[in-house]
Copies of this chain bind each other. A is one copy, B any other.
C-alpha cells in the first residue's frame, strides 16, 4: 500500500477531482485504438461488467452506461431523458450539487419541488416521507450521496427505503462516493446512480457513468429531450454492438479500465474505503492539532472531502495559504458552502496517509511563515 506510482513532477491533488492517479493508469493512454476495434469493444464491455459488479448487483437487473462528457452531463442525461412528460421531480437539497439537479429540471421545464436543508444538516426523513404521501404528483426523487459542497454524507439507504415504500423512482448522485463507499444499489432501491471517471475509481476525467435498473430504463422510450444526452439511446447503442453512438474518449476509457484493475488489485471498495478513511483520519487528527476546525460535525462527515473553517487569526488569508501550499507541491481546494468561510481538502485519489502527513507538515510550515503560531 505504500508504493507511490504518481509522477514525481506533479503536485499532489487534495481536491474533489481531477485527482492524482497512478502512473500506470496514465500510461494506459499511450495507445491509439479505433473506436470500432474489437479490442476496444472488448475493453468497454469489461468496464461495463466490472461497474455492475462494483454496484453489488446482478447484470440481469442493472446495467452500466458510459456517457461522454463530465459528470454533470450524466446527471443531466438522467433528469432530461428518464422523467416522463407528466412527471414531477422531488429534489432533496443540502448543497450546490442538489441545487444543480434542481436547475437542470427547471431548464428542461420539468415540474419540480425541493426539500432544502442547511449545508451542514442531514435531510429530515419524516419530512421526506410526509412530502411523498402528500404530493401524489411526484414521480421521481433525487438526492446527492456525498455533497462535495461541504463533504456531508447523506443517508441514501434510508431515503431509498421511503421512496420504495411510496412507489417512486429513485435517483442518486454518487459522483464523489461511488467506488469508495460500500453500497448495494438493489438494497437501496436505486433506479439511477451517477458517478464519473475521475473520482474514487481513480481514472482520468472524460466521461460520466450511469448505473441503471434495466426495467426502469426500458420504460423511458420517447422521454429524451436531447440527442447527445439520450440515456436509453446510449444504452441501446452499447447493447446492440458494443459501440458508442458518438466518438468515445478512447484513451480515457483505456485509463479507466486500468484503474478498475488496480481497484480490484487493492482489494476492491472495502480496501479503498479503508485507505481513504486512513487518509481522512490522519488529516482530521493533524488539522485539529494545528487548531483547525471542521465545518461539519464529525458524525456527518464523509472521508471523501472535508471543509475546514478559516482560522480566526488576523494574519490568515486563504489566497496566501493556498499559494504557499501550491508552491510546496500540494493543491487544496477553495470552499463552497454559503454560510461560512471554509476551504476544502480532499482525501481521495492515488494518495496515502504518508502524503497527508506531508501535506500537514507543509500546512504547519505555512502557518508559521504567515506568523499564525
Q: Which residues of A contact B (CB under 8 A)?
A: 6-7, 9-11, 13, 15, 17-21, 23, 26-27, 29-38, 68-73, 76, 80, 100, 103-104, 107-108, 196, 198, 204-206, 224-229, 245-252, 255, 326, 331, 333-334
Contacts and interface: CB of A to CB of B under 8 A. Distances in A.
Nearest to A206: B249
Contacts of A19: 32
B23 A30 contact: yes
A255 B326 CA distance: 23
B29 A246 contact: no
Given A70-B228, A107-B224, A205-B249, 11 more contacts: A10-B33, A29-B29, A29-B30, A36-B334, A37-B331, A72-B228, A76-B226, A80-B226, A103-B227, A204-B249, A249-B249
Nearest to A71: B247
A7 B27 contact: no
Interface of A is mostly: loop
A332 to B, nearest CB: 9
A247 B34 contact: no
13 contacts: A18-B35, A26-B31, A37-B331, A38-B326, A70-B246, A71-B247, A72-B227, A76-B226, A103-B227, A104-B227, A107-B226, A107-B227, A226-B229
Contact of A226 (B108, B196, B333): B108
Contact of A13 (B9, B11, B32, B73): B32
A43 to B, nearest CB: 13
Shortest beta-carbon contacts, A-B, top 10:
A69-B69, A70-B246, A72-B246, A70-B247, A206-B249, A34-B331, A73-B228, A68-B69, A204-B251, A29-B29
A196 B19 CA distance: 25
Nearest to A74: B228
A97 to B, nearest CB: 11
A73 B80 contact: no
A251 B26 contact: yes
A18 B30 contact: no
A23 to B, nearest CB: 7
Contacts of A23: 30
A85 B287 CA distance: 53
A29 B251 contact: yes
Contact of A251 (B227, B245, B252, B334): B252
A72 B73 CA distance: 13
